[in-house]
A = this chain, B = another copy of it.
């Protein structure tokens, strides 16, 4: 491996100057900088992270903590983060947060603490308060996406999301609007917030939210289908607001299986902006996951002093009306 002194020798300068020229820290005359860059290029020299990190304290890597890396939403966000951080010289270290307590301990006690990362991005509402506190106690900046009691995070106003979806259905003339979600009463729980939005919108319209128009789903296609089947064979609402696009597609299929036309007999609205929603012509509240990844990456860069701190505005969302929602049957 060619090292920094090979470059120094070939360029006729000291290693300190090579370091300065290559890192951009400290002053170097334009002429020597160019010389050094040229020589380094010819020699194919690349700074060793290990040595650089040991000497400088900077690891040139950002950790991303993900609960379910194979969920479309998370992998999309990670992909966006990666794209944003690469140009700044940061690599991405992926930490898969499993349910396994032993693995979690290894993760929190060792992986995250061995100095590999300059910062941590947390994509998980599924951390205990204690775990969130542990993260906050790391000696690196931590930023996240989603409501959290202990971490600085970027959030979508999920109550407003629920209201937007429900208000859309109300405006179309629906009154029996069901909800598929997963409410646990926690203020930092996204599904709970979306359910609140549903309740608020109904209440604002002078309609009492009915418990029998709520069905729990587990955010999968199958869960959405099962929940919708229960709703449509029971109280038979004219519209369903599902807390995710995957559940909404499940509901779409359930309706078809029951011989119901969408949106003729029942309207369906989801949340996410998932690729499936476009394919199935599903009305949804898009929350722009890719943009979320970019925003959280920017927040991290700001925390690292590499960027101006961006304005503190909530993450955007937008109702996208497609073919799955229309006026209720006459």
Contacts and interface: CB of A to CB of B under 8 A. Distances in A.
23 contacts: A48-B114, A49-B50, A50-B50, A61-B93, A68-B79, A69-B75, A69-B79, A70-B72, A70-B76, A72-B72, A74-B75, A82-B96, A83-B98, A83-B103, A86-B96, A87-B106, A91-B93, A92-B93, A92-B94, A92-B95, A94-B94, A221-B279, A253-B279
A51 to B, nearest CB: 5
Contact of A83 (B46, B75, B96, B222): B96
A306 interface: no
A32 interface: no
A69 B94 CA distance: 12
A50 B54 contact: yes
Given A78-B69, A82-B69, A49 B115 contact: yes
Nearest to A56: B50
Contact of A114 (B49, B75, B86, B139): B49
A216 B50 CA distance: 47
A279 B64 CA distance: 30
Interface in A83-125: 83, 86-87, 89, 91-96, 98, 103, 106-107, 109-111, 113-116
Interface of A: 1, 44, 46-51, 53-54, 59-61, 64, 68-72, 74-76, 78-79, 82-83, 86-87, 89, 91-96, 98, 103, 106-107, 109-111, 113-116, 139, 221-222, 225, 250, 253, 275-276, 279-280
A60 B114 CA distance: 11
A111 to B, nearest CB: 6
- How many copies of the shown chain assemble into the complex? 2
A106 B275 CA distance: 30
Contacts of A78: 69-70, 94
Contacts of A71: 75
A78 B82 CA distance: 15
Contacts of A75: 69-71, 74-75
Contacts of A89: 110
Contacts of A68: 79
A137 to B, nearest CB: 11
Q: Which among A48, A70, A109, A139 has the greatest number of chain B C-beta atoms within 10 A? A: A70
A183 B225 CA distance: 36
A223 to B, nearest CB: 11
A112 to B, nearest CB: 9
Given A72-B72, A93-B92, A222-B279, A114 B47 contact: yes
